[in-house]
Amino acid sequence: KIKNYKNIDLNFAKLIEVKDCSFYFQDKKNKILDNLNVKFEIGKIYGIKGPSGGGKTTLLNILSGLIYPKTGSVLLDDNLINSNNIASYQKFIGYVPQNTFLFDASIAQNINFNLDEKASFDIEKIKELINKLSLNEKISQLKEGLNTQVGERGVNLSGGQIQRIGIARALYHEPKLLILDESTNAIEKDIEEKVVNYLSSIKK
């Protein structure tokens, strides 16, 4: 029996299940997802592969609660995800898009995701993430280090470095579920391997 809690905080224990899920925009005959069933277990890494327009991003948007399936459901363990508990569910999720937006603020603020200059943040956690994601060499070359203002579009940072700041931003808040939507495609191969190995080491 599926439980449907109302206005209650959820716990993340074992898995997320996409059950009998279909999605389309206007025409029911042109389904992006058609009766999809898949389970994602905690402590594992999954890759979603397919052609352009095959529904990969749609599935990620459903998993992250940005859109609801037209038919079927998303379950966290045995709890139905709906409008009553979506806010609680989304607290578990770190979502990194292909194109990370950087605010016109310092690197540390962009990772902390708080533009209030008076806000406190865990500098040691940020330094560890910078090191693990192979950003320390670049940041150590900057005159003001983590306090360097990146500019609205990440001035002086490569596409791969911006993507890694996006990953650091998600990991800083210690999500239970990390979703990467082509978030490493601008990162050099050897560094991408280090990033994936790091994610694998912390997945549990």
135-170 core/surface letters (b: 16 or more CB in 10 A; e: else)? beebbeeeeeebebebeeebeebeebbbbbbbbbbb
Is pLDDT above 80 for 60?
Answer: yes
pTM of the predicted model as reported, rounded to 2 decimal places: 0.86
CB 122 within 8 A of CB 171: no
pLDDT of residue 5: 44
Distance of alpha carbon 81 from alpha carbon 68, whole angstroms: 9
Whole-angstrom distance, CA of residue 30 vs CA of residue 159: 35
pLDDT at 143 over 80: yes
Residue bearing tokens 């490569």? 158
Which has more confidence, 10 or 111?
111
Tens of pLDDT, residue by residue over 105-126, are 889 999 998 766 677 789 999 9
